[in-house]
Structure 1
Amino acid sequence: MTTASDLLFSPYALGPLSLPNRLVMAPMTRSRAEGHVPTELHARYYEQRASAGLIISEATQVSPQGIGYLRTPGIHTDAQAEGWRLVTDAVHRAGGRIFLQLWHVGRASHVSFQPDRQAPVSSSAIAIRKGHAHTAEGPQPYSTPRALETDEIPGVVALFEHGARQAKAAGFDGVEIHAANGYIIDQFLRDGVNRRTDRYGGSIQNRARFLLEITDAVTGVFGADRVGVRVSPTGDYNDMSDSDPKALFGHVAAELSARKLVYLHVVEPISGEPPDAPERVTTLLRERFRGALIVNGGYTLEAAEQALRAGVAELVSFGVPFLANPDLPERLSRRAPLNAPDVATFYSDGPRGYVDYPRLGEAQAASAAR
C-alpha cells in the first residue's frame, strides 16, 4: 500500500524532467549578488541543496528597471548569465534540476534603484503604503510609480522573453514566471492596484492579459513543458488586495492550463481561518489547472503528506526549511531534527548563514565531538 510518506519521497515526472522526490526548494531572496551578478558562492549554495526534487532559484530581475532590493541577481546581461552558468553546472553535476524565477518588482522599488533615478513603473500610479524599501541609505518610503503607457507594455513583455533566452543559455532546466507577492505582474492582475482603463485594466480578462502575454513569450523560448507560474491569490504582501480572488485566479488557472504549462505554484498559507485569514483559493485552482500544482505556505512534513494524499497537489515547496537544511529531503525522510535558521543572516552578504549550515552527518559528528 502506498503511504503519504511514500508519495512525498517518490519520483514524479514533471514534463520532461524526472524528479526523485516531490519536495521543491522554493525561491528565496538571499541578497548575496554583489553588482547583481551570481558567483561561485551561489553555485555552492544551490549545489548543497541539489537533492531537492526541483530547485526554483531566488527571484531574478529581467532588467535594471525591475530591481527593488540590494544585491539581488539579474538575468539581463551576459555577465549575469555566465554567473548563473556556474550555478546550473554545479547543480547538474550534483544530480539536481533547477528553474530560474523571472522577476520584475514594478512599484516595489525606490528611485535609488532605478536607472537615472526615474520613477518605478506599475500598472497604476499608486504607491505601496505599508512598509519600506530597503535601500543602500537604509529604509525609505516606496517611491510613487508611474503607470506604464499602453504602448510600453510590449517592451516589458520582451524583457521577460529576453530573460528566458538568457536563462536557457545559462543552462537552466526551465523558468518560473513570478506573478506573486505584489510584484509587477501581480500589480496588473489585482484590482486593489490596477486602475487602468485600457485593454490591460478593468475586467478580469483584461487584467490577466499582461501575464498571459508574458507566458506566451516565455513558452516560445522554453516550451510550455518547462515553464511554470507562481501566484499568491490571497496574499497581502506589498500592500496587495483583490475584490474577487476566486474569479480572478480561477480564470488565470484555466488560461494557463489551456496553454499546457508544466506547473502552477500557489502561495497560500495553510494556517488561519476566516475572518482572521481570507478564504483559500487553492482548491478551486486545483479544479481549473490540469498540470502539476505546487503548494507553498508553511507546510510541515505531515501537512505536505496530507496535501499529496488528498490530491490537492503533486508537489510541495519549502522555503526556510531548505534555507537552513541543505539536506532537507534526507532529514524529513528520516524524521531527523532540523537546523534552526539564523534569521539575522537571511539577507546579509558573505557565506555566513548561507553555505555553512551543517548536513545531518556533519551535525551529528559535531555533537559527538562535544
Structure 2
Amino acid sequence: MNFIRTFIMFFTKNFVLKAATVLAATVLAACSSNTNAVKKTTESSVDPAQFGAKYKGRSYSTSLFSSANVDNYSGVVNQGDFLTQLSNVRAYSTGISSTYYDNYNKISQWVLAGADVNQLANYGIRPQVMSGEDGYQNVLLTGYYSPVIHARYSAQGKYQHPIYAMPSQKRFTRSQIYAGALEGKGLELAYSDSMLDNFLLGVQGSGYVDFGNGNLNYFAYAGQNGYKYQAVGRLLVEDGEIPKEKMSIQAIRDWAERNPSRLQSLLERNPSYVFFKNDPAGKVKGSAGVPLVPLASVASDRSIVPSGSVLLVEIPQIDNEGNWTGEHRLHLMVALDVGGAVKGNHFDLYQGIGDKAGHISGLLKHYGRVWVLR
C-alpha cells in the first residue's frame, strides 16, 4: 500500500453485519503498504441502516453475481477523474494496461458516451454486484488519505519529533525508537511538531511534508520494523477511554489533546514503526505503482478484486459528523492499492491530500453497493 490508510479499519472488517446488526467502530488501521491485522469481534449494537446499509427488495447471495442492470440511476459523478485515473494506469503500468486493454477500451467508450448505466450492455459490459459481507450487497467502505505534516529539516523550537529513514538494523520497537535508539545515525528526514501526526503518517503509509517553504515533499513508505501492529483506537475502546461507536481519528486527536502526558505511552503500546524515503517524484501511488486520483481509486482484497479491476461504487454521502445523509452517489474507480485490513467485501477509498480528506477518511465506515465491470 503505499500509504494508508486511516485509523478506521482495524475493527471495521468484522463489525460488518450478521443479518441486521453491526459494531459501528472505526479503529486505527492502515491500507497500502502497512500490514495491520483485523480483530475478530462478534459484538454488535448499532443499526447498520444508520450507516447506509439497505435490505428491502434485495436477495441474499454469498458471491459475485451478474446483474441485468445497475439499479442506481443517479448518474456517475466523476467521469473526468476516472478517465484521468485510467490514463495514469496506462502511463505507469504496462502489465495492468495490457491485461485490461479490451475492458478499459469498452468502458472508456461507454464513459465518453455519457456513462448511462442503462447502456452498459450496449458496450459489452457485464456488471457483477458484490454480495457484501452480509449477503445483501452492503459492502463496507472506509477511507484513507495522504496527510500533510508540518516539519523542519533540523530540530528547532516545537519541531522536535523525528521522521526516520530505513535503518540497516530495523528491529527496534517504537518505545526504543522514542527513547533514542536511532539518534545520531543520520537517518532523520525531518522533525515535525507532532508525535501524533508522525504516528498517523505511519498509519497512512505515506504523505506530504511541509517544510514551511511553500512546497510539499512527498515521503513514501520505505519499510517497517517487523513488529506486529496494534490498533491504538482499539486499545482506547478496550480501556474505556472512547466509546466504540464514537471511534474516529478525530476522537483520538481529541483524546490526545485532553491527555498530552499519556499520548506517548499509548503509542508505545503499538510496537510497529514505519520508515520513509523522500520521493522526488512527489506522486501518491498505490501498491500497483500508479499515481492515485481521489475518489477514482480504491484499495481492495486482490484475491477477490485484482489490481486494475474497474468498479462502479455506490458511495454513501456523509456530513461533517459522519452521519449518513440518506444519499449514495456513483463513482467509477480502479482497484490500485491494497491494505492489511482490507479483506473480502471491504474497500478503502482514496480521499486525497490534507486535512479535509483526512477528516472524511476518519469518519467513513459506511455501506454501499459495488459492481465489478467486466
| TM-score of the superposed pair, with normalisation by structure 1 | 0.21
- Higher helix content, 1 or 2: 1
- Higher strand content, 1 or 2: 2
Higher relative contact order (CA 8 A, sep 6+): 2
